[in-house]
A = this chain, B = another copy of it.
Amino acid sequence: MASSTLISLDAMGGDHGPAVVVGGVKAYYSLYGGDGVRFLLHGDEAAIRAEMARLHVSDDLCQVRHTDKVVAMDEKPAQAMRRGKGSSLWNAIEAVKAGEAQAAVSAGNTGALMAISKLVLRMAVDGLERPAIVASWPTKRGFTAVLDVGANIGSDARQLVEFAIMGEAFQSAVHGVARPTVGLLNVGSEEMKGHEEVREAHAVLRTDAVPVNYTGFVEGHDIAAGTVDVVVTDGFTGNIALKTAEGTARFISGLLKEALTSGPLAKLGALIAMPALKKMARRIDPSSVNGGPLLGLNGIVVKSHGGATAEGYANAIRVAVELARSDYLTKVSANFARLAAAMDEPAPVVMGETEQ
């Protein structure tokens, strides 16, 4: 029997508020069992209790902590930091800081969640302007963790190595990969070896400075091919790669739908093949990959998509539980310390490789 884990939820965040958050709790129990997991819900108590009653979610599973205050979905991060104290989002994070809960989940405003998480929990590493976000990317071989997709601009070599450390620990905690392979995203042309920071991170990762299973450079097409378990890139490139892939998937799904409704024969064919097509759609269903942890904080915070369904939200809860129950935080912090030692010492062999 697993020990008890308390997960703190921002019940007011997201497009659907308590309906999806309480629905997500219920779906989590029915989909994943929820062995020993309890919840602390922050927000409008009446609204939360109404959903609990409607969905038959018992008081034993969920404590409710009332607050009137809510961070709006369109509130600017700076404003949310100034005015957000005491809001459901803030209190959800605060419970992790206080050691009361082991992780927090919010489907609220991403910018505000990042800013408040950073303010309340503090970054575990210097230099990152905001927490990194990891995407669980469906691939031929399962899921590849891609980070940073959270728009950190201008990551230097050290940050790329930190992403590698966090991505590896995430992949092994959440997707159960024992010794994840790690690749650095780069362009594939022969004579170019990408940005200086990419080449420098490559030189560090190739050594024993950090114990990740680094396999070298990968290219854009390697992501969906599942060539490696973890793909490391800066937040600008990662954010654009993720959104480009989502756009491509949407475009092709749209073409497919158009084709399969384009005439009576096509419709008949689609009807007959429907069970197989539905099974395929589930493999790239956004619900199954919902829940991106904010990495690099002193604590576990998971972002759910604002428009997620209850099943999607349940997956974000699952990610939070897996991380909370794993050695994720201690492993990452040990490897950060190891990296710091390696980078502060003179390491002529490592850095020599990056000289032009």
| Bound Cα distance from A171 to B192, whole angstroms | 28
> Contact at B237–A284, with CB atoms within 8 Å?
no
Query: A243, B259: Cβ atoms under 8 Å?
Result: no
CA distance A154 to B187 in the complex (A): 12
A110 and B189 in contact (CB under 8 A), knowing A239-B220, A269-B274, A280-B255? yes
**CA A222 – CA B243 in complex, angstroms?**
8
Within 8 A of B (CB), among A81-117: 110-111
Could you tell me how many residues of chain A have their Cβ less than 8 Å away from some Cβ of chain B?
70
A215-234 CB contact bits vs B (8 Å, 1 = yes)?
Answer: 00001111111000000010
Identify 24 residue pairs between A and B in the complex whose beta-carbon atoms are under 8 Å apart, listed by A's number: A111-B189, A140-B254, A153-B194, A154-B195, A187-B235, A220-B245, A224-B247, A225-B247, A233-B240, A240-B241, A241-B241, A241-B244, A244-B244, A248-B252, A255-B280, A255-B283, A260-B276, A262-B279, A263-B276, A266-B275, A268-B272, A269-B273, A269-B276, A272-B272
Contact A220 B244 (CB under 8 A): yes
Task: State the main secondary structure of chain A at its contact with B.
Answer: helix
Q: How far is the CB of A284 from chain B (nearest CB, A)?
A: 7
Chain B nearest CB from A148 CB (Å) reads 11
A259 touches B280 (CB 8 A): yes
Cα(A259)–Cα(B61), bound, Å: 40
